[in-house]
Amino acid sequence: MQLAEIAKALKITIKEDWENVTVTSVSFDTRTLRPGALFIPLIGEKDGHHFVEQAIANGAVATLWQADHQKTTFSFPMLEVNNTLAALQKLAKYYLNKINPRVIAVTGSNGKTTTKDMIAAILATSFNVKKTQENFNNQIGVPMTILNIEPNTEVLVVEMGMDHFGELDHLSRLVSPDIAVITMIGEAHIEFFGTRDKIADAKMEITHGLKEDGVLVYNGDEPLLRERTSRLLQETRTFGGAQDNDYRAINVVSNEKQTGFRVTKWPELNFTVPMIGSYNVKNALAALAVGDYFQIPVKKMAAALSNFSVTANRTQWIAGSQGEMILSDVYNSNPTAAKLVLRAFSQVPTAGKRVVVLGDMLELGSASPQLHASLAQAIDPQKIAEVFLCGTQVKALAAKLVNKFSNDQLHLYDLNHQAQLIADLKDSLKAQDLVMLKGSHGIHLENVLAALK
Ligand SMILES: CC(=O)N[C@H]1[C@@H](OP(=O)(O)OP(=O)(O)OC[C@H]2O[C@@H](n3ccc(=O)[nH]c3=O)[C@H](O)[C@@H]2O)O[C@H](CO)[C@@H](O)[C@@H]1O[C@H](C)C(=O)N[C@@H](C)C(=O)N[C@H](CCC(=O)N[C@@H](CCC[C@@H](N)C(=O)O)C(=O)O)C(=O)O
Ligand SMILES: Nc1ncnc2c1ncn2[C@@H]1O[C@H](COP(=O)(O)OP(=O)(O)OP(=O)(O)O)[C@@H](O)[C@H]1O
Ligand SMILES: C[C@@H](N)C(=O)N[C@H](C)C(=O)O
CATH code, domain carrying 24 = 3.40.1390.10
Given the DSSP bridges, would you call strands 235-240 and 215-219 parallel, antiparallel or unpaired?
parallel
For ligand 3, the distance from its centroid to the CA atom of residue 354, given in whole angstroms, is 27
Q: Which of 110, 189, 334, 392 is the best mutation target for the ligand 3 pocket, counting ligand atoms within 8 Å of the beta carbon and taking the most?
A: 189
Q: Spell out the residues 6+ positions from residue 107 whose beta carbon is closer than 8 angstroms to its own.
A: 159, 160, 161, 162, 168, 180, 181, 182, 183, 203, 206
Q: Is 113 in the pocket of ligand 3 (CB under 6 A)?
A: no
**242 and 325 inside one domain:** no
Q: Whose CA is nearest to atom 7 of ligand 2?
A: 111
In a domain, 94, yes or no: no
**258 and 324 inside one domain:** no
CA distance readout (Å), 261 to 2, 73, 276: 50, 63, 12
Q: Helices 298-306 and 112-123, interaxial angle, to 10°?
A: 130
In total, how many domains does the chain have?
3
Residue 194, annotated as binding a ligand: no
Q: Which of 440, 445, 447 is the best mutation target for the ligand 3 pocket, counting ligand atoms within 8 Å of the beta carbon and taking the most?
A: 440
Q: Is 312 in the pocket of ligand 1 (CB under 6 A)?
A: no
Q: Whose CA is nearest to atom 9 of ligand 2?
A: 111
Q: Which of 50, 84, 118 is where one domain is finished?
A: 84
Q: Which of 321, 302, 383, 386 is nearest to 350 (CA)?
A: 383
In a domain, 91, yes or no: no
Spatial contact of 311 and 134, defined as CB atoms under 8 Å apart: yes
Spatial contact of 240 and 219, defined as CB atoms under 8 Å apart: yes
Residue 113, annotated as binding a ligand: yes
**355 and 300 inside one domain:** no
Q: Which protein residues touch ligand 2 with a CB less than 6 Å away?
A: 108, 110-114, 135, 161, 183-184, 279, 282-283, 314-315, 329, 331-332, 336-337, 340-341
For ligand 2, the distance from its centroid to the CA atom of residue 233, given in whole angstroms, is 29
For ligand 1, the distance from its centroid to the CA atom of residue 40, given in whole angstroms, is 13
CA distance readout (Å), 383 to 139, 319, 342, 352: 42, 21, 10, 11
Q: Which of 369, 303, 365, 358 is nearest to 333 (CA)?
A: 358
DSSP 277-300: -THHHHHHHHHHHHHHHTT--HHH
Q: Which of 280, 307, 334 is where one domain is finished?
A: 307
Q: Whose CA is nearest to atom 30 of ligand 2?
A: 337
Decide: residue 395, CB within 10 A, 0-12 exposed, 13-18 middle, 19+ buried: middle
**283 and 219 inside one domain:** yes
Please report the pLDDT score of residue 75 as a whole number.
Answer: 80
Please report the pLDDT score of residue 252 as a whole number.
Answer: 96
**pLDDT tens string for the chain (453 positions)?**
999 999 999 999 999 999 999 999 999 999 999 999 999 999 999 999 999 999 999 999 999 999 999 987 778 899 999 999 999 999 999 999 999 999 999 999 999 999 999 999 999 999 999 999 999 999 999 999 999 999 999 999 999 999 999 999 999 999 999 999 999 999 999 999 999 999 999 999 999 999 999 999 999 999 999 999 998 999 999 999 999 999 999 999 998 889 999 999 999 999 999 999 999 999 999 999 999 999 999 999 999 999 999 999 999 999 999 999 999 999 999 999 999 999 999 999 999 999 999 999 999 999 999 999 999 999 999 999 999 999 999 999 999 999 999 999 999 999 999 999 999 999 999 999 999 999 999 999 999 999 999
Which helix H or strand E contains 368, and what residues bound it?
helix 368-373
In a domain, 95, yes or no: no
**213 and 295 inside one domain:** yes
Spatial contact of 185 and 108, defined as CB atoms under 8 Å apart: yes
Q: Which of 263, 287, 307 is where one domain is finished?
A: 307
For ligand 2, the distance from its centroid to the CA atom of residue 273, given in whole angstroms, is 15
**137 and 271 inside one domain:** yes
In a domain, 92, yes or no: no
In a domain, 200, yes or no: yes
**53 and 106 inside one domain:** no
In a domain, 66, yes or no: yes
**117 and 255 inside one domain:** yes
Please report the pLDDT score of residue 9 as a whole number.
Answer: 98
3 state DSSP class of 107? strand
Q: Is 360 in the pocket of ligand 3 (CB under 6 A)?
A: no
Give the structural domain span for 217: 101-307
Q: Whose CA is nearest to atom 5 of ligand 3?
A: 441
Q: Which of 250, 266, 41 is nearest to 140 (CA)?
A: 41
In a domain, 342, yes or no: yes
DSSP 136-156: --STTHHHHHHHTS-TT--EE
Q: Which ligand lies nearest to the CA atom of residue 249 in the structure?
A: 2
Q: Which of 137, 314, 326, 445 is the best mutation target for the ligand 2 pocket, counting ligand atoms within 8 Å of the beta carbon and taking the most?
A: 314
**238 and 335 inside one domain:** no
From the alpha carbon of 164, which atom of ligand 1 is closest?
A: 61
Please report the pLDDT score of residue 431 as a whole number.
Answer: 96
In a domain, 242, yes or no: yes
Q: Is 446 in the pocket of ligand 3 (CB under 6 A)?
A: no
Round to whole Å and give the CA distance between 71 and 106. 40
Round to whole Å and give the CA distance between 184 and 202. 12
Q: Number of C-alpha atoms within 13 angstroms, CB side, residue 363?
A: 20
**360 and 243 inside one domain:** no
**34 DSSP assignment:** P
Given the DSSP bridges, would you call strands 316-319 and 325-329 parallel, antiparallel or unpaired?
antiparallel
Residue 114, annotated as binding a ligand: yes
For ligand 1, the distance from its centroid to the CA atom of residue 318, given in whole angstroms, is 27
CA distance readout (Å), 264 to 225, 250, 273, 334: 22, 7, 17, 31
Give pTM, 2 decimals.
0.96
Q: Which of 290, 309, 294, 306 is nearest to 247 (CA)?
A: 290
Q: Whose CA is nearest to atom 50 of ligand 1?
A: 136
From the alpha carbon of 186, which atom of ligand 2 is closest?
A: 4
